[in-house]
Amino acid sequence: MNAWFTRSSSQSDPAQVQRRLGPLEWRVLEALWQRPDPASVRDLQPEFTDIAYTTLMTTLDRLHRKGVLSRHKQGRAFFYQPQLTRSAFESARAADALRVAITADGATIGPLLSCFVDAVGERDNALLDELEALVRARRADLEGKR
């Protein structure tokens, strides 16, 4: 699960892909993240009794074509697994949200960063210290490149 995609650049960004996932695709992805091993349609069907077997099969295939899942054939069945862990996927989504906010109207970034710092500070003072250390390290790195 090291590489996210090997497809075209329009499919290579996890955040772009996640914006195109429907509710059923999210449910399937969540079900696969709960499993330690790749799963076939038959393996997943008991968790999706509200939809047809063929609908689940089509959904898995779509997720594969979008680059979200890898698959391998074993006998007559395909076995699927997520290309990224849930944590890596969520990290890519968060990074994309920050990129969008930063490249949008410059006036919106100040309140966003303030809210972020407040949220981190409310959760954990040590995490706030870590954030400050990361900012200082990044500044030092940038200064060294000048």
Domain 9-86 falls under CATH 1.10.10.10: yes
In angstroms, the CA 33 to CA 26 distance is: 10
| Residue-wise burial string across 38-76, b where 16 or more C-beta atoms lie within 10 A, e elsewhere | bbbbebbeeebeeeeeeebbebbebbeebbbbbbeeeee
Q: Is residue 80 within 8 Å of 69, Cβ to Cβ?
A: yes
pLDDT in tens, 44-53: 999 999 999 9
Tell me the average pLDDT across 34-49: 97
pLDDT greater at residue 137 or residue 97:
137
Q: Which tokens belong to 88?
A: 């890596």
Hey, what's the torsion of the CAs at 46, 51, 53, 58, to 10 degrees?
-120
Tell me how far apart the alpha carbons of residues 54 and 137 are, in angstroms, rounded to a whole number.
52
Band of the pLDDT at 20, cuts 50, 70, 90?
confident
Q: Which residue has the higher pLDDT, 10 or 49?
A: 49
Q: Which two tokens stand for residue 143?
A: 């200064």
The predicted pLDDT at position 105 comes to 66
Structure tokens at 96: 């994309």
Q: Is pTM beyond 0.75 here?
A: no
Does residue 82 sit in helix, strand or coil? strand
Interval 119-145: pLDDT, tens: 888 888 888 888 899 999 999 999 888
Residue 28: Cβ-neighbour burial (10 angstroms; 0-12, 13-18, 19+): buried
Q: What is the pLDDT at residue 6?
A: 36
Domain boundaries, the chain: 9-86, 106-145
